[in-house]
Amino acid sequence: MTRVESNVDDGCIVCSNPIDHASLTPCNHRYCTICSLRMRALYKTKACAICRTEAPLVIFTDEKERKFVEFNVGEFYRTDENMGIAYEQQAIFEDTVVLLRYNCPDPSCDVACLGWPDLHRHVRSAHQKQMCDLCARNKKVFTHEHELFTQQELRKHEKYGDDNPGAVDQSGFQGHPECGFCRKRFYGEDELYVHCRDSHERCHLCDRRTGGRNPQYYLDYNALEQHFGKDHFPCLDNECLEKKFVVFDSEMDLKAHQLENHPNGLSKDARRDARRVDLSSFDYRPQYQEIRRGGRRGGRGRDPNSDAIPATSGAHMSRAELVHQRQREIQSAQSTTPRTFGGQLTASEPHVQSAQRPANAAQSPQIRNAQPAFPALNEQPNTNGSSTPRPAPALTPAEQARQLRHNAVTERAAHLLSNDEARLAEFRSRISSYRNGTISASDLIDAFFSLFDTSSAELGKLIKELADIFEITTKRDALLKAWNDWKAINEDYPSLPGPSGPTSAAGALGSGMSGSRVLRLKSATAPSARSTMGQQRSWGATAASANNPFPVLPASNNKGTATPAPTPSWLALRPASSSRPISAKVSPAPSRSQSSANLGRTDAFPALPAAAKPTSTVFTPGYTGAGVIRQSVGSGVNAWAGSAGGGGGANGGASSVPAAAGDADVGKGKGRKGKNVVFKWG
Amino acid sequence: MAANKRIMKELGDVNTNPPPGCKITTKDEDIYNWDVSMDGPDDSIYKGGKFTIAIVLPKEYPFKPPTLSFRTKIYHPNVTNDDRGAMCLGMLRAEEWKPPNKIADVLKLVRAVLSAPQPDDAVEAGIADQFKNDRKGFDKTAQDWVKKYAK
């Protein structure tokens, strides 16, 4: 009943597609790398597909005969400890990791996005389509295998599914089931079941009768109580009612319970009532609730205003008391400052103001912070933070408090940016753009993600602090709302694992990966046969090798990118650090030097004009582009276009221009050739 | 999608070379819903019966196992005695399913289990007890049911 040996020539035993590269397990089973990756990356299982033996390491290879033990560690092009994959050749590695990017599902689009929010935005703006959020969170397919829907299609997809019996592309999908109480949809029956189990109630008596099959749910305890009253025999003794559901299947059981537990507890009247229940029209609940509300509870004399008193207590304070209290709060906040913010003091003025003066941006935060009171501290290194921050005497306590909050924000930002003043300046200018209404709150958050190379939790702290110092309520609320939206969209998504360790995927892929490779691999997982795009491969490989494995960084790296390498960020849902080599390359004349370097090694393409596309060289000084990968040259739909400075759109240009030119030359006739990808994990 | 091609291939295989005693159709051309008409194996007490089995392939097939249910009532320790007629075989459990397993393999296993019930792996404990302790009574009921339901 179990086929053990795979027949490589016959296509992959799992997916029946022709095998491009084979995945070889220690048990010497071969099947295609796509199935192997699917199991390892999406289903999170390292078991061999064929014999279910745990395979801590598999080899992705083109060798058809060799056994697992015949490979030497030294032969591998690269080993990914995280997923347990050894790549025998570079081309296989590239073919593999491209599947793990946030590729746009549109079959003709080679854009890879930063993450789910970015992808959602991309399909909305570039294709006027949507993705199903439930599928994105739960469906175990590669990103580009998801589907794009119009608004109506999406509704149909959610409600009825998009199964199309008889068609080639039928999916068997019947829609996402909806919870009838909450009007909320869930990915599948299992998810709905979990929701109902956790959020709604089931009648244990009915379950016992039906054996738990075909479960009936009730919205909450009240609905369940009504059901008990209607269909079963609850004990009406007050104690039992308090216990929440002493209820019986039959009147006999109830009577037995009453005689046993409340021989004297029941009043005569109640006992008589219990005997007189008319079973055919047993509708007791509404009456009962009246009793409870009007009689017992009300009789206890609960003060309806008792809740209100604490809430209004502040109103009893006199104005003077309020002022006093506030001052004390401020003072205590001040006294803790050196401890809390042990580092250097940063801008003591509201930094939205400072951000409006980009000329100052080059100054280090250490210098700026000391401005009002201690000009002499300029010479001092970071240790000046140990001195007590005594604000200028002219400031009122309220201003002092505000200043402290500003300091805290700037402090945190500076810390997160590793005191890189250029990026700090960028940070400030973003905030001032937001404050001026030039960019929206969600744009601001996007900008932060490209700017900060940190976890969303850290960024969340920063954004909350930042929101605190906005004195305009609407701005503050908008920012918090945008942040919550981002979290809602982002944090539940499955993450795509990337290669582990410091292997610079960006180095291998970011600049070398031509769009054609993406499309080719997409087609590899598509139902139809391989497309002819495979022939573009030599170009992709050549370009990749030119940049591999670690691109040489130009000496003009003056941006202080000496940031300590963050913890491996492959699994985090955020702009990760892997583009650092690229960002380091963004120097004042980036595209020219980069493109010529690349082309010089790309024999297949003679003499491409060295001049880059003009719009792709937009460069924001100080922007190191740690996060953004997509540029949309001349495209009005670029979500980043609204950001101040256009930094988002520009940074990718450096390394991707050659690829763009290459595509154009190859004559693929893509109208969107300017759109390119710098590979990005996250 | 990957599953699609695989399923089409399996469908083609079972149509050209069907497992013994099985006839396979898809419900309304829906390749995720298979209807199998299976003859009771000759070496079993179910001989002469004709059983309809519905197989539902999950969207994640072949990475998740298919589900299998007897539409024809059958008296068997490994088939639930209710309107679902679910059959739980070892290889169909999520943790034991192997993606290369084919539906044809599953059907062969079904036939093997019809011939030789596995009372230790039963879903109907009562029937399993009877099978173990009162084989004659079990055989009689099973054959009665075949006459009653599986003709």
> Which residues are within 8 A (CB) of A24 and not within 5 positions of it... i.e. 6 or more apart?
A30, A58, A59, A60, A61, A63, A66, A68, A71
Domains of chain B by start residue, with CATH: 2-149 (3.10.110.10)
Query: Which pair of structure tokens corresponds to residue A385?
Result: 């933070």
pLDDT band at A202 (very low <50, low <70, confident <90, very high): confident
| In the predicted structure, residue A250 carries a pLDDT above the cut 50 | yes
Q: What pLDDT is stored for residue A359 in this prediction? A: 41
Instruction: Find the mean pLDDT for residues A152-170.
Output: 71
Reduced to 3 states, what is the DSSP secondary structure of residue A351?
helix
Whether residues A3 and B9 touch (CB distance < 8 A) is answered with no
pLDDT at A239: 77
Q: Is the peptide bond before A393 cis (omega within 30 degrees of 0)?
A: no
A599: burial class by Cβ within 10 Å (0-12, 13-18, 19+)? buried
Rounded to a whole number of angstroms, the distance from the CA of B100 to the nearest CA of chain A is 5
Write out the two tokens for A291: 């009793």
Distance, C-alpha A360 to centroid of its chain: 34
Confidence category of residue A122, pLDDT binned at 50, 70, 90: very high
Rounded CA separation A136/A143 (Å): 8
Note whether B29 contacts A166, CB cutoff 8 Å: yes
Which residues 100-129 of chain B have a CB within 8 Å of chain A? 100-102, 105-106, 108-109, 112
Number of helices (H) and strands (E) in chain A: give both, helices first. 30, 17
The alpha-carbon gap from B25 to the nearest alpha carbon of chain A, in Å, equals 13
- Of A140, A172, A527, which has the smallest distance from its Cβ to B57's Cβ? A172
Give the model's confidence band at B89: pLDDT under 50 very low, under 70 low, under 90 confident, else very high: confident
User: Does any CB of chain A come closer than 8 Å to the CB of residue B2?
Assistant: yes
User: What are the chain B neighbours of A51 within 8 Å (beta carbons)?
Assistant: 98
DSSP one-letter string for A534-579: GGGHHHHHHHHHHT-SSPPPPTT--S---PPPPSP-TTSSS--STT
Search chain B and give the residue with CA nearest A44: B63
Structure confidence at residue A490 (pLDDT): 62
Contact (CB<8Å) B108/A15 = no
Interchain contact B25–A (C-beta under 8 A): no
Nearest to A1 among B3, B5, B109 (CB): B109
Q: Which residue has the higher pLDDT, A426 or A516?
A: A426
Kindly report the average pLDDT of chain A as a whole number.
64
Q: In angstroms, what separates the C-alpha of B132 from chain A's closest C-alpha? A: 25
| pLDDT band for position A59 (cuts 50, 70, 90) | very high
pLDDT score of A60: 92
**Which one has a higher pLDDT value, A577 or A201?**
A201
Mean pLDDT across A635-655? 41
Interchain pair A2, B91: CB under 8 A? yes
CB B106 within 8 A of CB B55: yes
What percent of chain A shows pLDDT beyond 90?
3
Contacts with B86 from chain A: Cβ below 8 Å: none
Q: Which tokens in the block code for residue B111?
A: 């036939």
- Report how far residue A507's alpha carbon sits from residue A544's, in angstroms, rounded to the nearest whole number: 8
- Output the average pLDDT for chain B: 86
More confident residue, A288 or A115: A115
Average pLDDT over residues A560-575: 43
Give B-chain residues touching A17 at CB under 8 angstroms: 2, 5
Instruction: Give the tokens for residue A350.
Output: 């509201």
| CB neighbourhood size of A287 (10 A) | 10
| pLDDT band, residue A629 (cuts 50/70/90) | very low
B82 part of contact set with chain A, CB < 8 Å: yes
Residues whose CB is less than 8 angstroms from the CB of residue A618 and which lie 6 or more positions away in sequence, other chains included: A646, A649, A650, A653
Out of A1, A50, A165, whose CB is closest to B30? A165
Q: pLDDT, tens digit, for every residue of A660-681?
A: 444 444 444 444 444 444 444 4
Looking from the CA of A538 toward its CB, the CA atoms found within 13 Å total 6
How far A230 CA lies from chain B's nearest CA (Å)? Answer: 28
Is any Cβ of chain A less than 8 angstroms from the Cβ of B50?
no
Stretch B27-53: mean pLDDT: 86
Chain A CB contacts of B110 below 8 Å: none
The residue-averaged pLDDT of A101-107 equals 89
Residues of A with CB under 8 A from a CB of B: 1-3, 6, 13-17, 31, 34-35, 38-39, 43, 49-52, 139-141, 145, 163, 165-166, 168-173, 213, 525, 527
**Higher-confidence residue: A281 or B92?**
B92
Which residues of B are annotated as catalytic?
A: 88
Compute, in degrees rounded to 10, the torsion defined by CA atoms A623, A627, A630, A634. Answer: -20
d(CA A76, CA A366): 48
Torsion sign over Cα A155, A156, A159, A164: negative
Taking the whole predicted model, whether its pTM rises above 0.80 is answered as no
- Please give the interface size between A and B, counted as residue pairs whose CB atoms are below 8 Å apart: 88
The 10 Å Cβ neighbour count of residue B86 is 15
Closest CA of chain B from A477, distance in Å: 42
Q: Do A527 and B9 touch (CB under 8 A)?
A: no
| pLDDT score of A35 more than 80 | yes
Q: Do B60 and A140 touch (CB under 8 A)?
A: yes
CATH number of A10-100: 3.30.40.10
Question: How far A12 CA sits from the closest chain B CA (Å)?
Answer: 9
**Cα nearest neighbour of A52 on chain B:** B98
How confident is the model at residue A404, as a pLDDT?
Answer: 79
Question: Which residues of chain B neighbour A16 with C-beta distances below 8 Å?
Answer: 5-6, 8-9
Domain ranges of chain A: 10-100, 103-165+174-194, 232-276, 418-491
